[in-house]
Structure 1
Amino acid sequence: MRIPRAVMLAVLVSLVSGCGEAPPPEPVPIERQRIPEGVLIAHALGGINAISGSNSPQAFVHNYGRGFRWFEVDLALTADEEMVCFHLGQEAAIGLEVKIAETSTEEFLSRRFWRRFRLMTFDELLTLMESRPDAFLITDTKSWEPPIVEAFIREVARYPASVRRRIVPQLYRESDFDALEKIESALGEFPYVILTLYAAWLPDEKVVELLGRPELRNITASDRRFSSSLAEKVHAQDAAIFVHTINDRAEAASFVRAGADGIYTDFVTPLGR
């Protein structure tokens, strides 16, 4: 006797349900990428009204309108461990006499940068990013201590992959690759990862060694740390190198001629703007 199709399906469903839930699929590895050549990166979300370092929503919107599509933001934790857009050490600029780590998020948000520009949480910035699908964001957390890792995961997990994949975690030292592994196990892999050379002295040979890691395709160096020799070594590893922070167009051009793939800037505008 032919068994009706509906009965067959019911039997199969019961068998599958009796075997427990299927394990989640393994995450699909993504291609690690170089930041495009010729990019200008808006430092601290870019300057506005001749003021740099604000990390403000006004700066982000203003510089997006000027043609920037790559941004760098400083991030810090408040007393209630919420991640906010702020450069540690600039408390006086927002009228604070204590550190951000001793300040509540509510108090932080009530302040203004040099009494002019509104402050924001990392969550608000990611919301601005979500509505601008061609914007990319390099994070400057200064370190990847466990509370920072946890806050970063918590904030970024709220957003879809279309936002997460436009975030560029910046690393500072070799041990930060362990933090990156934890972050990516929670959020998925990031196409772009960058290592900055300002926090720990790494000789050229060590930089080349770290570029052997599959995660890393981008380096950033200060104007003093950069050299044509370092650029050649980075390029030989199929990686890109960027210089910070340059605010003169002629100087920026000289670094590009010397091998830099792009620069961080407060005030140099993209060409044609």
Structure 2
Amino acid sequence: MIKSTTKKTIKIRIILTAGVLLAAAIAAVLIHHRLYVTAIRDIRIFNIPEEGYRLTRYGEEVKGAIAARVEADNELASRELRYESSDPEIVTVSEEGVLTAGKQGNAVVKVISVGNPSVSRELPVTVIQKAMSMQVALPEELPSNEYYYLIHRGDRVSFRALPEPADALVENLTYTSSRPSVASVSEDGEIRAYKGGTSLISVYWVSPYTPEGQKVLVGEFWVNVCRKTDHDSLAYHELQWYEESCLIAHALGNAGDYKYTNTRDALEESISEGFKVIEVDLAMTSDKEVVCRHNWKKDTFDVSYDGRIPDLATFEKEKYFGTLTTLTARGLLEIWAEHPELYFITDVKQDENTDLPEVIEHFVALAREMGQEKLLERLIVQLYNAEDYDKINAIYPMKHWLFTFYQLPKTDEAEEAAAKYSKEMNFGAFTVPVKWKRTGYFTGLAEDYKMNLFVHVVDEPAELRKYMKRGIYGFYTDYWSPKKLQEMRENGEN
């Protein structure tokens, strides 16, 4: 009986001892938790702006440090922190709390107490990518030629910004129009057209590195507001030859350093240089064959028949300056058939040896004989007087015409009558020699009759720009070309 009581006593003591030890252990855990965990009350951030961190980067790497500290009730609690980014592509954060900007965007950086992970702070971070360079573009669907974009009064056309890098912030762009009465441009780059004509839209940009008070020209865009009044939208517009190109290769273009040659060499060079519209001088040989020739009187190309009209065989046999190959109307049509996208403008000198309707009659007959009549749909007949229109139209119903003024009496009455006639016949354009130096009068005449004005001949880019600013739309040229223009643009020279 005594032994049984002793065993029970021992068990009770063991239980009591275990309870004491457990209580002590629990107390120790609680004390530890209080001293090292719950004592950590907060994380204090010293340098966070109200709107959060903003890291503005250019091309270089951008960093920013988070100044943070653990707030605790005693000195025993851990002050260690760790950092997490919600989107490392936008911002990364090091073990020391250093932020490194990535791509543009918004992310959240979480600052966490290592001693008490339930204590944390979330910091919004915005990465702003400033553009290193800027370009702008108009919609690709707009018809365009070497210089002009075609727009209409009923269309709203907006510029598209192309920063580098592509995700960079677009800002500090300004727009101006040389003729706001024709087409204005809003602060956000929307063009609004009011009447037919041309205008130069210039786009400027202030970059992160632009000196204060200055701005950089990042683009110039010539717009041509459709002058026709029978429709108000590009969707209903039939593109005209003069809208496809405002540069015309004069006399088939240059052949190296030679001009006015109308040779095969000149034509092949013009095609390679990207011309869409090419003027050709047509004349007739003594045996009534149509050939490509300026005239028989004044051209001196170092051939035996200079100053005389040769027969076809003689014309074909001899080379200009010993190197350039002459071109007949048959040869022209053969080359044209290989490039049916081209337009050709006729120039037939009206003198005692040459008659425009007669030359056109022979040319049409030849095209039919060769099975190339379809090419005549892209032939532009240069007209010198109203009387020849009906004669030529009786030969073939030509689709395109261009009235040239250089054979008219140099009077305001004759010129205004020609412009009015061109308008009534829906030619769309007329042309005058640039050497007449009456550009103000002729641009006014073109505007009054809602026509496009071409001048001949201009070869220097600076001259083209000067005349364009005066309202002249297009140019005949000997040495300038679409290819050279493109090269200048690519080199940043335009």
If the length of structure 2 is used for normalisation, what is the TM-score? 0.45
Q: Give the whole-Å Cα distance in 1 for the aligned partners of 2:432 and 2:464.
A: 13
Q: Give the whole-Å Cα distance in 1 for the aligned partners of 2:284 and 2:302.
A: 15
Q: Which of 1 and 2 has greater Rg? A: 2
Q: Give the whole-Å Cα distance in 1 for the aligned partners of 2:393 and 2:304.
A: 35
**Partner residue of 1:256 out of 446, 453, 468:** 468
For the pair 1:85 / 2:297, whether they are aligned, the reply is no
- Aligned residue type for 1:136: Y
Name the residue aligned to 1:189.
398
Name the residue aligned to 2:260.
53
Name the residue aligned to 2:99.
none
Q: Give the whole-Å Cα distance in 2 for the aligned partners of 1:69 and 1:95.
A: 31
Name the residue aligned to 2:22.
none
**Partner residue of 2:283 out of 71, 76, 92:** 76
Greater fraction helix: 1
Instruction: Decide which moves more: 43-52 or 152-161.
Output: 152-161
Q: Once the two structures are superposed, what CA deviation does each residue of 1:121-158 show, in whole Å capped at 9, x if it has no partner? A: 11111111111122110011113455324313322334
8 Å contact kept, 1:91–1:100: no
Instruction: Decide which moves more: 64-73 or 136-145.
Output: 136-145
Q: Once the two structures are superposed, what CA deviation does each residue of 1:232-255 show, in whole Å capped at 9, x if it has no partner? A: 322343321111011111011111
**Partner residue of 1:206 out of 398, 417, 425:** 417
Q: List alignment gaps of at least 5 residues for structure 2.
A: 1-237, 488-494
Structure 1 segment 114-193 matched on structure 2, within 5 A = 114-143=321-350, 144-158=355-369, 159-184=371-396, 188-190=397-399, 192-193=400-401
8 Å contact kept, 2:443–2:453: yes
Q: 1:109 to 1:160 in 2, by over 3 A?
A: closer
- Aligned residue type for 2:366: E
Name the residue aligned to 1:95.
303
- Aligned residue type for 2:332: L
**Partner residue of 2:319 out of 95, 112, 116:** 112
Q: Give the whole-Å Cα distance in 1 for the aligned partners of 2:342 and 2:467.
A: 24
- Aligned residue type for 1:214: M
Q: 1:91 to 1:211 in 2, by over 3 A?
A: closer
Q: List alignment gaps of at least 5 residues for structure 1.
A: 1-30
How far does residue 100 in structure 1 lie from its aligned partner after superposition? 5.1
Q: Give the whole-Å Cα distance in 2 for the aligned partners of 1:34 and 1:104.
A: 34
Q: Once the two structures are superposed, what CA deviation does each residue of 1:179-203 show, in whole Å capped at 9, x if it has no partner? A: 332232xxx332x210111112253
Q: Give the whole-Å Cα distance in 1 for the aligned partners of 2:390 and 2:305.
A: 34
How far does residue 48 in structure 1 lie from its aligned partner after superposition? 2.1
Point out which structure has higher relative CO (alpha carbons under 8 A, 6+ apart).
Answer: 1
If the length of structure 1 is used for normalisation, what is the TM-score? 0.79
For the pair 1:40 / 2:257, whether they are aligned, the reply is no
Structure 1 segment 242-253 matched on structure 2, within 5 A = 242-253=454-465
8 Å contact kept, 1:208–1:234: yes
Structure 1 segment 218-237 matched on structure 2, within 5 A = 218-225=429-436, 226-237=438-449
Q: Give the whole-Å Cα distance in 2 for the aligned partners of 1:34 and 1:129.
A: 16
Greater fraction strand: 2
Q: Once the two structures are superposed, what CA deviation does each residue of 1:154-182 show, in whole Å capped at 9, x if it has no partner? A: 22334445411111111112222233322
- Aligned residue type for 1:248: E
